[in-house]
Amino acid sequence: MRSYLHIKGKGLWKFCALTALAIVLACCGEVITSVDQPATATAGSTMTVTVHLSIPTAADGGPDYLVFGFLVPKGWKAAQNTVVTYSGAQGSGNMTLIPEGTLGKNGNGLTWTAYMKKTFQIGGNLIDDMEWVAYQSDKAYSHTGGLEFKGDITIKTKVAADNNNYLVKLGYTITDTGHGFTSDQFGTYYSEVVTPCFEVTGGTGDLIDFCNPQLTTVNPPKSLDNDIITLTFDGTVVNTPLNNATETYLCATAYTSDGKTISVCEQTDKTKMIQAVPNSKKYQLTFWPKSFFNTTAAQTITKIEYFITDKTGTAKVGYGNTLAPFVYTFKCS
């Protein structure tokens, strides 16, 4: 069986599921046959996505409820900003959020959202700031031998509720309450599609790139200036002016809510980044921003701009391997 993803943009792209998508197919069991999704969207707009599905059956059973999972960045707050409906030969209706404490079938004690993350991880995205949001149909459907249930799931979701810009891979999965993410001699009872990178523009916040390897990352991805953060520089991503450096340092400027700027750009133990693994070219510095920049109790750091330098301070790397600074904005959601 073949399946396609349809992405609506300037043109209609089609990708064979066997070569371009992370998709699980079965002779019997739930199958996502295609997904209609825009290629881009504007932050704050409402996007409509249609997931086409087919559920062939080989034996009588059920009735079971259809379970749907939607993989999105946490900043989208999809649970509060998404409406999901379904339609098909056996009827139509709404899909409602599965209560967080509900355990997934055959999930070894995991909730449905945790079950989805364990099974599908974060869909090939490079930043672990994604979440699976789980829904269930309001009506059950029966498994009657030889009956193929074909239908659509329609998702209307607010894009980038946090008003950031994104490059991200969105994910979709289906199963039912009678099987969960399992397979047996009759087939595979789930299906997953992860789309190519989806672009969100027009936001006033940062660009958050889940798709491409980054020269620097900050963990956790969202934090406040009173949290301890770890900044990592990955010298293996691309050739940089620091290729031959044996030591790297952080050169940073903090911007505060009272309009002040505080720079710490020195090559000392305070700013020295450490290789977690020798010769890995991956350097880290863990620090408490309020202490690092010596801010007062009344000052709040809103963002930092920074470079990575060598021991002399003359060779440095900025965003995209340029002389523009990396930017990290402090926010809790």
Beta carbons of 22 and 172 less than 8 angstroms apart: no
- What is the pLDDT, as a whole number, of residue 63? 82
Residues lower than pLDDT 70 in the chain: 1-29, 57-62, 143-148, 333
pLDDT given for residue 24 in this prediction: 35
CA torsion angle for 75, 78, 81, 84 (degrees, to 10)? 160
Taking CA atoms, 64 is separated from 2, 26, 224, 266, 269, in Å, by: 26, 18, 44, 63, 61
**Which pLDDT score is estimated for 40?**
97
In whole angstroms, what is the distance from residue 117 CA to residue 232 CA? 25
pLDDT of res. 307: 97
Phi, psi of 291 (to 5 degrees): -75, -40
pLDDT at residue 58 in the model: 57
pLDDT of amino acid 27: 38
Architecture of domain 213-329: Sandwich (2.60)
* Rounded Cα gap, residues 183 and 94, in angstroms: 27
Q: State residue 143's pLDDT score.
A: 65
Task: Please tell me the predicted confidence (pLDDT) of residue 146.
Answer: 60
Instruction: Determine if residue 281 is left, alpha or beta; phi over 0 gives left, psi from -120 to 50 gives alpha, anything else beta.
Output: left
* C-alpha–C-alpha distance, residues 180 and 174, integer Å: 9
Three-class DSSP category at 115: helix
Q: What is the pTM assigned to this prediction?
A: 0.78
* Radius of gyration of the CA atoms of the chain, in A: 23
